[in-house]
Chain A
Amino acid sequence: MTRFEALTGVRVRESYLSSDDAQFAALRTGAASDWDIVNPSLNGAWRYVKAGVLKPLDLAKIPTRSQMYPPFASTDKVKGQNGATYAVPYLWGLNPIVYRTDKIQGEASYATLFDPKYKGQLAMRDYALEAIAIAALHVGVPRERVFALNASELAEAKKALVAQKPLLRTYWQTIGDLTNLFATGEVACAFSWRVPYDELKGKMPVAMAKPKVGIMGWCDCFAMPASISDEKAELGYKFINYLLGPDYASQIAEKGNYATSSSIIRDTLSKEKQADIFVDDLSVMDSFLWPIAPDNYAEWLKVWNEVKAS
């Protein structure tokens, strides 16, 4: 941010928000009239587009976009029915399984999370979308369909989750929470984000697993509110151009261990660094699984709460 400010003389002011939902609600209700840039998630972008709160983007004004990895450049999740593009993916990552190599035999997979052998050492995120999708993968639903389950598949997934519940030490709430669970030895294997791995790798034997059957990805997008003035929109384009450029990409790879959606600096990174930010083997992008709220999400929520209260 500071680099961009120095380059352009524009000051970037950030607002802290608790979630994508809060951001959407703020835009939807007009509570965010002074925002110039918003960051919808790739998976949630459709509802922003559908609700008409975003400005259609002029891609010609974002030259750095040319080096984006194909899955991000070609995604139609950021497009409206009229074909216009409303958001640009810029930062992404994977949600791996993190596990203790001294307590789990072999490389962990989703099956490990349902394995009675590890009773009391497992944890799942308290999040209906991902938990049910993982259970669906576990009971054999193909990857393309895990976010569009039919009634019987949803029931199957629920059964698996109910059976899993006694094996779990707890459901984790925030990533700081999960890091603490690993650090205090409560949990040996969990569906996770990469954060606990980064924080703990020097201190205990931890590893990350990226299940081939389907790996949950996350991706943040850049977008501008529909109501933005032309003058500010120009600055916005400059900003996204910066975010997709080499400067931001190398900083975020160094400090945050994240990759941007652009291949612009990939070849200049060491093999280890590439592996660290998941761009060493680009085939990982073939097993991407983007969590997307299904139409009957309320139903999913009900199932998830029934599992938790069972």
Chain B
Amino acid sequence: MARAVRRSDTITLGTAAAVLYLPLLVLVVFSFNASPLMAFPLTGFSLRWYAALAGNAAFLHGLLTSLLVAQPVGFLAMVVGLAAALALTAPRLPWRIAFLALVLLPFLVPKSVLAIAQAMLLSLIGWDRGAVTLILAQALVAAPFATVLVAAMLLRFDHRLTEAARDLGATPWKSFRFVMLPHLKGALGGAYSVGVILSLADLTIATFLSGRTQPLSLIVASEFRRELRPDINAMQVVVLVLTALVIGTGQLGRLLRRRRLFPVPLTDQAVALRAGFEETSGRPSKAARC
């Protein structure tokens, strides 16, 4: 299969990449620009914004909060996604389409509308907003992706395996635990990361449902309202490099483990990654997002 990339394809992909990375290039340039203003002309090279980043206690505290919130979101998304996927692919499920629609609903509703509606509901029943509501709401939005991810794997799962286990005397729980679950490990890991990524990138839900829990996105948004300081560009660059590294090593790991990356795994990766990135285009309020 190894063949050279066509010239026309090189041109297409090259152009696409150039356009895709043009605004990022601008970001990188301004993160190294000495002036506090994001405007041309450039005023000279400086690392001051990266230094400012390290000394910003509010940022660091927000980052810690974000990380602590993201873990349970990932876990809940994974568990709910597994349960929903098992139900969805069960042979005897009645009302399957209605169930599917219900599970996909949090994705289909624009996130700000959903978050506003949830905030109204919480107000009506007098439930305080805080870390718990934030985690639940983020997990709810992550769950549809987790479900799709796990269900995709379940559909490909050979049910004769569980049947064989049952024939050999395993209880349903045992056949689930020792035959099916190991098979789903990858998908479950993906579901977990989707929850984590989505939670880290979220601002929309946090705006309406976080109460006094203040994740990084919220703190950055509130700083950004007052002034656009290049240390936020710097932070963006750092985050960007880190994610590229994480994804990059993940890819490399896969590549080394099994030579054949495609076509099958692409679907799973795509669904997982896409779900994770989806939230980055969620609509925050008037406030900004990092």
**Contact partner, B39, options A25, A26, A173, A180, Cβ 8 Å:** A180
- Shortest CB-to-CB span from A257 to chain B, Å, is 13
> Knowing A31-B123, A31-B128, A174-B286 touch, does A18 contact B226 (C-beta < 8 A)?
no
Over the window 191-214 of chain A, the binary record of Cβ atoms lying under 8 Å from chain B Cβ atoms (1 yes, 0 no) is 000010001100100000000000
Over the window 208-245 of chain B, the binary record of Cβ atoms lying under 8 Å from chain A Cβ atoms (1 yes, 0 no) is 00011010001101101111100000000000000000
* Residues A174 and B288 in contact, CB atoms below 8 Å apart: yes
A183 touches B (CB below 8 Å): yes
Q: Which residue of chain A lies nearest to B120 when distances are taken between CB atoms in the complex?
A: A29
A184 touches B (CB below 8 Å): yes
The tally of residues in B whose CB lies under 8 Å from a CB in A reads 27
A66 touches B (CB below 8 Å): no
Interface-centre pick from B218, B219, B225, B288 (highest chain A CB count, 10 A): B225
B283 touches A (CB below 8 Å): no
B184 touches A (CB below 8 Å): no
B40 touches A (CB below 8 Å): yes
* Residues B219 and A18 in contact, CB atoms below 8 Å apart: no
* Residues A176 and B228 in contact, CB atoms below 8 Å apart: yes
Q: Which residue of chain A lies nearest to B62 when distances are taken between CB atoms in the complex?
A: A16
Over the window 155-187 of chain A, the binary record of Cβ atoms lying under 8 Å from chain B Cβ atoms (1 yes, 0 no) is 000000000000000000111110110011100
* Residues B123 and A174 in contact, CB atoms below 8 Å apart: no
Over the window 2-40 of chain A, the binary record of Cβ atoms lying under 8 Å from chain B Cβ atoms (1 yes, 0 no) is 000000000000011110000001100111011000000
> Knowing A29-B123, A176-B228, A195-B227 touch, does A18 contact B207 (C-beta < 8 A)?
yes
> Knowing A16-B218, A16-B219 touch, does A180 contact B228 (C-beta < 8 A)?
yes
B91 touches A (CB below 8 Å): no
- Shortest CB-to-CB span from A223 to chain B, Å, is 18
Docked CA distance A183–B38 (Å): 8
Residues in chain B near residue A18, CB distance under 8 A: 207, 221-222, 225, 285-287
* Residues A185 and B212 in contact, CB atoms below 8 Å apart: no
* Residues A179 and B227 in contact, CB atoms below 8 Å apart: yes
Over the window 76-88 of chain B, the binary record of Cβ atoms lying under 8 Å from chain A Cβ atoms (1 yes, 0 no) is 0000000000000
Residues in chain A near residue B214, CB distance under 8 A: 15-16
Residues in chain A near residue B228, CB distance under 8 A: 176-177, 179-180
- 4 tightest A-B CB contacts, nearest first: A183-B39, A29-B123, A16-B222, A174-B225
